[in-house]
Amino acid sequence: MSAVSQSDFRQQYFDFGLSDYYQTLHGQHNDYVAVCSSPSASEKHYWNQDLYLSKDALYAELEIIRDHDVNAYHSQNGFNTADTRLASNIKTLTSFYVDMDVYNIPGLENITADGLLDLVLDKFPWLPCPTSVIYSGRGYYLNWIFNKPIGRDLLPQWGAVMGVLVPLLKQFGADQACTDAPRVLRIPDSVNQKSGEVVSCYVRKGETVSFGKLKSLILNNGVPVIEAEREKQAQILAEKQPQLIPDHRPKRTTKSVIRQCSRVYQLAFDRMNDCIKLAELRGSPGMVDHRERLLFVYAVSGVYYWPDIEQAKAELDQFCLQHFGKNKYSHKRVGTVLNKLKQHRDGVSMIYKGKGKDIRYSLTNAYIIDLLGITLDEQQQLKTLISKPVKAARLTAKRRAKGIVSRAEYIETNKAKASKDRELIKALRRRFMSYGEIGKELGISPSQVSKLDKQ
């Protein structure tokens, strides 16, 4: 389907069925929204995609849904450019969303929206009611829309929450691949070409909620549930394979698990940004040094944000084009990383001390610095790919900026003050003042006065 010019939209449309939903989702930001269509969900080579400013995207959607012979989708979040719909271009996050494939769950095939909500909220009463529930033509989308969109800098925290919320609702048909920020979902009032049914929006089933409140509720209440399930699976695994060495480490608290969950996404996010910065320092878009190794590190970090192989390939090819120019480098250079991503998405994990361990690569900063030959000068301009001495120097600089002096200076200053106090105490003692009176004069305790006097 050919794209419709943005200038014609407002002249043709003023209101439609999906307007309220769109304004709730995208009405508070001015970034780009992806609007996509295809004649059939299986015919990806006919996939049409355009990105419009949020003020124009609604009119593009209204135009597309007029054609009842296409699948129509839009992005849930905003992008910083009209070029591509990639995780690296995410600028604004509007909501948490879960794609509920209830048709895959026995007994839920014909459930209504209210019936599904009753099951979910009865199971997890601490979970706020979704802002909107959309019937996709086969399943449902649950969408918790933020009362105020958040920026890209909170993407790691957003990813950590999605990494808990989606597995939490797996028993109700939650699509485990639907955890990525560039995700597109069907547009209300369009037609699902697989089922022939209209996508229906139940607008404002609940209220919009702040990102911070949702994050706290989902992590604090959802993590213990997931951890309990993992413990159960570990016990079953240990019974089946008793030769495995049991893990005797103390059980982690909910807070420590939450910190670790958020730390993984933050570290991956920061390393991706450092890879981009390093490429720029080394001559992007004509970088020639350590290209394949840099692509490997970028891929290892990026798999935490890419939902599937196809998205990963697109992101990696874009990275190569942007920083290496037009050459033979592409996603094919990091096939092992993509294989591990596929295995992870299929539920495969490693076994370590009787427990499942993430099968994706886990690299240390020291290894990456050595692998890429990152110099001390380059480290000064990076955020997280830094050596221990550079990290220590940064911590010291922060302490000095807060007015915290070095230990040597602190000791020297205290010595000078103590010497001055001793001279003053001697003078006051000659005036027959007691330790208590001198302590009040100097603002210290009588015992301290006594100690200084005897010194």
DSSP letter (8 states) at residue 347: T
**Confidence band of 354 (pLDDT split at 50, 70, 90):** low
Does 178 lie in the same domain as 114?
Answer: yes
- Do residues 34 and 157 share a domain? yes
Position 439 scores a pLDDT of: 77
DSSP 334: G
CA-closest candidate to residue 317, choices 303, 329, 305: 329
Residues near 203 by beta carbon (within 8 Å), at least 6 away in sequence: 20, 21, 24, 132
Q: How far apart are CA 250 and CA 164, in angstroms?
A: 22
Please check the confidence at residue 452 and state whether its pLDDT lies above 70: yes
Q: Which of 194, 218, 242 is the last residue of a domain?
A: 218
pLDDT score at 253: 63
Percent of the chain scoring above 70 in pLDDT:
87
b or e along 401-433 (b: 16 or more beta carbons within 10 Å of the residue's beta carbon)?
eeeeeeeeeeeeeeeeeeeebbeebeebeeeeb
Six-digit token string for 393: 């120097």
Q: CA-to-CA distance for 408 and 24, rounded, in angstroms?
A: 58
pLDDT of 43 > 60? The answer is: no
DSSP state of 328: S
Lowest-confidence segment of 148-152, 198-202, 229-233 by average pLDDT: 229-233
| Spatial distance between the Cα atoms of 304 and 179, rounded to a whole number of angstroms | 10
Q: Which of 191, 218, 245 is the last residue of a domain?
A: 218
Rounded distance between C-alpha atoms, residue 162 and residue 181, angstroms: 9
Does 54 have pLDDT greater than 90?
A: yes
Q: 13 falls in which pLDDT band (50, 70, 90)?
A: very low
DSSP state of 403: T
For residue 352, being part of any structural domain is answered with yes
- Together in a domain, 341 and 434: no
pLDDT band at 7 (very low <50, low <70, confident <90, very high): very low
pLDDT at site 294: 95
Model pLDDT, residue 239:
63
Least-confidence region, from 12-26, 34-48, 401-415: 12-26
84 and 55 part of one domain:
yes
What residues are paired with 64 via a beta bridge? none
Which residues lie below 8 Å from residue 8, measured CB to CB, with a gap of 6+?
A: none
Domain end among 163, 198, 218 = 218
Kindly state whether residue 345 falls inside one of the protein's structural domains: yes
Domain that holds residue 445: 407-454
- The token duo for 276 is 């981009």
Does the structure show a pLDDT above 50 at 352?
Answer: yes
> What φ, ψ does residue 402 adopt, rounded to 5°?
-85, 0
Lookup: tokens for 419: 């010497």
- 193 with 66, same domain: the answer is yes
Calpha distance 289→335 (Å, rounded): 20
Check residues 224 and 92 and name the one with the higher pLDDT: 92
| 379 or 41, which is more confident | 379
- The secondary structure element, H or E, covering residue 215 is helix 211-240
Cis peptide before 39 (omega within 30 of 0): no
Structural domain includes residue 230: no
pLDDT of 332: 92
Query: Over the stretch 141-164, which tens digit does the pLDDT of each residue have?
Result: 999 999 999 999 999 999 999 999
Instruction: Report yes or no on 173 lying in a domain.
Output: yes
Quick one: tokens of 165?
A: 């919320």
Based on the domain organization, do 160 and 275 belong to the same domain? no
| Pair (80, 203) in one structural domain | yes
Decide if 228 is inside a domain. Answer: no
Lowest pLDDT segment from 37-46, 146-155, 199-208: 37-46
Has residue 265 got a pLDDT over 60? Answer: yes
* Predicted structure pTM score: 0.78
Does 413 lie in the same domain as 378?
no
Nearest 5°: the CA angle 205, 209, 214 is 115
Q: 274 CB contacts (<8 Å, ≥6 apart)?
A: 382, 383, 384, 385
Residue 197 sits in the same domain as residue 54:
yes
- 352 vs 123: which has the higher pLDDT: 123
Tokens for 450, please give them: 């006594």
Written as one letter, the residue type at 235 is: Q
Query: Across residues 346-372, what is the average pLDDT?
Result: 81
Domain-located, residue 48: yes
* 360 plus 279 within the same structural domain: yes
Q: What is the CATH number of the domain that holds 146?
A: 3.90.920.10
- pLDDT of residue 181 exceeding 90, the answer is yes
Number of structural domains (the chain) is: 3
Contact 387, 379 (CB under 8 A): yes
Average pLDDT over residues 400-409: 78
- State mean pLDDT over 389-393: 90
**Which two structure tokens, joined as six digits, stand for 29?**
């930001």
| Main-chain phi, psi angles of 131, to 5 degrees | -60, -40
- Residue 171 and residue 56 in one domain: yes
Cα–Cα distance list, 194 to 43, 184, 186 (Å): 12, 17, 12
| CB 205, CB 131: distance < 8 Å | yes
pLDDT of residue 47: 84
Examine the domain organization and report whether 367 and 438 are in the same domain: no
Q: Which residues pair with 74 in a beta bridge?
A: 35, 185
From 11-25, 52-66, 234-248, 371-385, the region with the lowest mean pLDDT: 234-248
Burial code (b: 16+ CB inside 10 Å, e: under 16) for 160-181 equals bbbbbbbbbbeebbbbeebbbb
- Residues sharing a CB contact under 8 Å with residue 187, sequence separation 6 or more, in sequence order: 18, 35, 61, 64, 65, 72, 73, 74, 199
Q: For residue 360, is it within any domain?
A: yes
Per the listing, tokens 């994706």 go with 360
The overall average pLDDT reported for the chain is: 84
Grade residue 177 by pLDDT with cuts at 50, 70 and 90. Answer: confident
Q: Is 399 contained in some domain?
A: no
Confidence of residue 14 (pLDDT cuts 50, 70, 90): very low
Q: Residues 198-225: what's their mean pLDDT?
A: 86
